[in-house]
Amino acid sequence: MNKIYNPKREDWKSILKRPTKSVADIESTVNTVFDELQKDGDATIKKYTEKFDGVSVADLLVTDDEIVEANSLVAIELKEAILLAKENIDKFHAAQKTESIEVETSPGVHCWQVKRPIEKVGLYIPGGTAPLFSTILMLAVPANIAGCSEIIMCTPPNKEGKIHPAILYTANLCGVTKIFKVGGIQAIAAMTFGTESIPQVYKIFGPGNQYVTVAKQIATKYGVAIDMPAGPSELLVVADDTANAEFVASDLLSQAEHGVDSQVILVTTSKAMLESVEKEVELQIEDLPRKDIAQKAIDNSKLIYLEDDQTAQELINEYGPEHYIVCVEDEGSYLSAISNAGSVFIGNYTPESAGDYASGTNHTLPTNGYAKQYSGVNLDSFMKSMTFQKISKEGIQEIGYAIELMAEAEGLQAHKNAVTLRLNSLDDE
């Protein structure tokens, strides 16, 4: 671990730098698949599923029988855990519903704002060794609360052409309308353009490897919206002497096990805590099944000592962590100071894992400093707001002259005419 004591402000940028990757090679692969899929639809999906996933899939759509089978394969205890998590996620996201707002801005000028669901959304769930059913909860639950009418999901099949039972169970539980056995670039392309089997969607959500990430970025060029740009997952913990070094170390490691490029940072105003956390990490890492991955992330991690709270708070805002754990005596000061973070975990009994799975908050969060400008996924991610206005005869007489003047000053005579005609008709009345 890299220990850094009182870094100079001019060095913050380089200390907090995230690793950046070249995507030029990936882009050309993505463009090839996109071009082919636009022409050949399902045939392209099958071709690349054979090439990338090493399996030939006859039917892309998961059948009801497969879902029934999956249902019987998931342990009852896990189902109960998933149900608890679903209930909490449901409560927290349902509370995010907002009322329409209406204002009479000038006499006779009524303006209102209404949110409506995005009708067609697509969820991407990665494959690999671990079945990320928790991400289905985080995406499908708010999509349902929003009222999206079509919620499709794409996830890659394994070598036997199957999908993990926990994935199918959770997707069915959360009201996903159709599940397709397709992953990677071809899944994103299919949801972008639509194929014979897979419907086109208006917005794509979900994590993925760097191919999926670049494919989502390129999909936006074709008019599809995406949840947010992605980067490696990251955690920053701020801890003082009131923190528990054992707990802090376990949180840092839970981040580190995600991948070798995971970002793990401790900021502390206590040199003793810095030393204790380092020792605890070395101890706990030994027993982890994913030790090799975690070790590489830990090797790149940073333990930063800063003399005072204000400087620490400024550095944390400069970084803008995806996950931010606050274990300090003076919580209030850190909470009011934080401007840039995805999700904040407070106190010694609030591990990041809680928010990853079951507390109710969303775990799809802005990485890579994007907390400066992006929200994590929330109910509004599945809706768009529209404005309405209705102006009475009195209303247009109230604001018409201002519109005429402004339109004229912008050189838009027809804009002015649309008002003048109406005002003249009222003069004649």
- 328-367 residues in contact with its own copies (CB under 8 A) are 335, 338-362, 366
209 annotated as ligand-binding: yes
Query: Is residue 407 a contact residue for its own copies (CB under 8 A)?
Result: yes
Q: What is the largest distance, in Å, between two alpha-carbon atoms of the chain?
A: 88
Compare residues 57 and 399 and give the one whose CB is closer to its own copies: 399
Query: Is residue 208 a contact residue for its own copies (CB under 8 A)?
Result: no
> H-type helices in 338-409, by residue range?
352-357, 393-409
By residue count, the chain amounts to 429
- What DSSP assignment string belongs to 241-304? TTS-HHHHHHHHHHHHTT-TT-EEEEEES-HHHHHHHHHHHHHHHTT-TTHHHHHHHHHT-EEE
Question: Quick count: other Cβ atoms within 10 Å of Cβ 323?
Answer: 25
Stretches 59-67, 270-278, 299-307, 380-388: which one binds its own copies (CB under 8 A)? 380-388
Select from 76, 45, 59 the least CA-distant residue to 163. Answer: 59
185-210: burial string, b at 16+ Cβ within 10 Å, e else: bbbbbbbbbbbebbebbbbbbbbbbe
Compare residues 307 and 394 and give the one whose CB is closer to its own copies: 394
- Closest approach, Cβ 131 to its own copies, in A, equals 7
Stretches 32-40, 50-58, 94-102, 181-189: which one binds its own copies (CB under 8 A)? 94-102
Main-chain dihedrals φ then ψ at residue 303, nearest 5 degrees: -110, 115
Contact flags string 293-332 toward its own copies, x per CB under 8 A: -x--------------------------------------
- Looking at 409, 427, 428, 429, which residue binds its own copies (CB under 8 A)? 409
Query: Is residue 105 a contact residue for its own copies (CB under 8 A)?
Result: yes
What are the residues whose beta carbons fall under 8 Å from the beta carbon of 399, sequence distance 6 or more?
A: 106, 109, 391
102 annotated as ligand-binding: no
Instruction: Provide the pairing of β-strand 109-117 with 101-106.
Output: antiparallel
- Looking at 17, 116, 271, 279, which residue binds its own copies (CB under 8 A)? 116
Query: Is residue 233 a contact residue for its own copies (CB under 8 A)?
Result: no
- Contacts with its own copies in 4-63 (CB under 8 A)? none
Distance, in Å, from the CA atom of 113 to the CA atom of 105, rounded to the nearest integer, reads: 13
Compare residues 53 and 352 and give the one whose CB is closer to its own copies: 352
Distance, in Å, from the CA atom of 142 to the CA atom of 267, rounded to the nearest integer, reads: 33
Identify the active-site residue in 323, 331, 352, 408: 323
110 is catalytic: no
Query: Is residue 118 a contact residue for its own copies (CB under 8 A)?
Result: yes
258 annotated as ligand-binding: yes
- Closest approach, Cβ 81 to its own copies, in A, equals 4
Total residues at the site for its own copies (CB under 8 A)?
Answer: 129
Query: Is residue 119 a contact residue for its own copies (CB under 8 A)?
Result: yes
| Encoded tokens for 1 | 């671990």
415 annotated as ligand-binding: yes
Main-chain dihedrals φ then ψ at residue 124, nearest 5 degrees: -110, 125
- Contacts with its own copies in 235-294 (CB under 8 A)? 244, 246-247, 250-251, 253-254, 256-258, 284, 288-290, 294
- Closest approach, Cβ 113 to its own copies, in A, equals 6
| Encoded tokens for 350 | 């609030």
Identify the active-site residue in 234, 257, 278, 322: 322
- Closest approach, Cβ 191 to its own copies, in A, equals 12
323 is catalytic: yes
Task: Give, in degrees to the nearest 5, the angle at Cα 359 between 356 and 362.
Answer: 50
- Closest approach, Cβ 170 to its own copies, in A, equals 10
| Encoded tokens for 214 | 């670049």
**What residues are labeled active site?**
322-323
Annotated binding site for Zn(2+): 255, 258, 356, 415
Annotated binding site: 124, 186, 209, 233, 255, 258, 323, 356, 410, 415
